[in-house]
């Protein structure tokens, strides 16, 4: 009985620890930085944003895009994954909100956009 309980606990621990490996380092950082990190602190962690736009009411929106190429095989075409983060800062340059979206560009090796329907560097 104790062996079964031990195996069950080990399996449960592996499941919960496995979830931590799925979260990107950017998501992990932003989760802890929200409501207190400044633009300078975010820039130190994530680098310069791909796009930065001021807001009329004060503050700004920054867009980060992280690309990863995926090589194809006989089953799926080559493509690229894009993780897009949209960060909103208040007038004191403190991170207030962020959103993360992911999109796979199947068969497109050099797409000009990251995620459909979001801010693009050209806009």
Q: What is the pLDDT of residue 30?
A: 98
Structure token pair of residue 118: 């979001």
Share of the chain above pLDDT 70, in %: 73
- Count of CB atoms situated within 10 Å of the CB of 32: 10
Domains recognised in the chain with CATH numbers: 25-123 (3.30.1450)
* Cα–Cα distance, 98 to 27 (Å, whole number): 9
Prediction pTM value: 0.74
Do residues 33 and 41 make contact, with C-beta atoms less than 8 angstroms apart? yes
β-strand partners of 84: 65, 101
9-52, pLDDT tens digit by residue? 555 555 444 444 579 999 999 999 999 999 999 999 999 999 99
Do residues 65 and 114 make contact, with C-beta atoms less than 8 angstroms apart? yes
* Cα–Cα distance, 88 to 97 (Å, whole number): 5
């Amino acid at each position: 009985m104790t062996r079964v309980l031990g195996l069950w606990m080990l399996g449960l621990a592996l499941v919960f620890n496995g979830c931590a490996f799925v979260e990107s380092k950017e998501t992990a950082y932003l989760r802890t930085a929200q409501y207190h990190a400044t633009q300078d602190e975010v820039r130190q962690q994530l680098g310069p944003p791909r796009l930065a736009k001021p807001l009329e009411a004060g503050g700004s929106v920054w867009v980060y895009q992280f690309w990863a190429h995926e090589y194809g095989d006989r089953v799926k075409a080559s493509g690229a994954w894009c993780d897009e983060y949209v960060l909103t800062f208040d007038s004191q340059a403190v991170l207030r909100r962020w959103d993360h979206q992911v999109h796979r560009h199947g068969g497109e090796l050099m797409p000009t956009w990251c995620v459909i329907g979001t801010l693009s560097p050209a806009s």
